């Protein structure tokens, strides 16, 4: 495996989800004579020892969902490194930040252009999100521009549901009603 270590490292840093069977075919073309089982053990038992440890997807999601000015310096550097490795991640980050900007500024004038660029971005989840927005575009536009919110009502509903769950079905409606009124 030693003659192929650097090649394998580079391939797995470029695409950590690259299938082992494709790696096997590539290094066989380069002269590897070992088995697929040996290659699989070599990679998954940590013997490859990748120099660059990639962050967990949950951490990357957090970096993308956070405002750039609120990211720590090392997190911003990590996100920039990943965006350099994967240009698609840069496009996705731009789409997320563009939508977040529209929500926080409550400005829907850029919504049609954002929806078009998001729909043609090639990300299936983003395309599905845009299709959902298009189903009720008037409500989405109103939600982005009008000052009204159903947040207080949703908070009251959540509070009632929590009180109901705390009672575990004991007593009945009169006790639940008292608990709601006392809270």
Tell me if the pTM is above 0.85.
Answer: no
pLDDT in tens, 106-123: 888 999 999 999 999 989
**Residue 97: CB atoms within 10 Å:** 15
Residue in the structure block whose two tokens are 């490859």: 48
pLDDT in tens, 21-42: 888 898 889 888 888 888 888 7
Alpha helix (H) residue ranges in the chain = 5-14, 20-29, 36-44, 57-65, 73-85, 87-105, 111-119, 124-135, 137-145, 151-166, 173-182
- CA–CA gap between residue 80 and residue 126 (Å, rounded): 21
- Give residue 100's pLDDT: 94
Indicate the average pLDDT of the chain: 87
- Give residue 48's pLDDT: 62
């Amino acid at each position: 495996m030693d003659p192929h270590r650097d090649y394998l490292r580079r391939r797995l840093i470029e695409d950590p989800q690259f299938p082992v069977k494709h790696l096997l075919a590539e290094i066989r073309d380069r002269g590897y004579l070992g088995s697929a089982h040996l290659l699989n053990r070599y990679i998954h038992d940590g013997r490859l020892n990748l120099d660059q440890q990639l962050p967990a997807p949950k951490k990357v999601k957090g970096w993308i969902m956070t405002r750039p000015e609120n990211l720590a310096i090392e997190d911003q550097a990590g996100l920039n490194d990943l965006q350099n490795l994967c240009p698609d991640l840069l496009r996705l980050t731009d789409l997320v930040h563009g939508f977040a900007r529209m929500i926080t500024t409550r400005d829907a004038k850029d919504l049609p252009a954002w929806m078009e660029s998001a729909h043609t971005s090639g990300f299936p989840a983003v395309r599905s999100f845009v299709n959902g927005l298009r189903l009720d575009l008037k409500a989405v536009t109103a939600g982005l521009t009008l000052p009204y919110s159903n947040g207080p009502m949703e908070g009251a509903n959540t509070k009632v549901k929590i009180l109901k769950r705390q009672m575990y079905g004991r007593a009945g409606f009169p006790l639940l009603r008292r608990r709601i009124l006392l809270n």
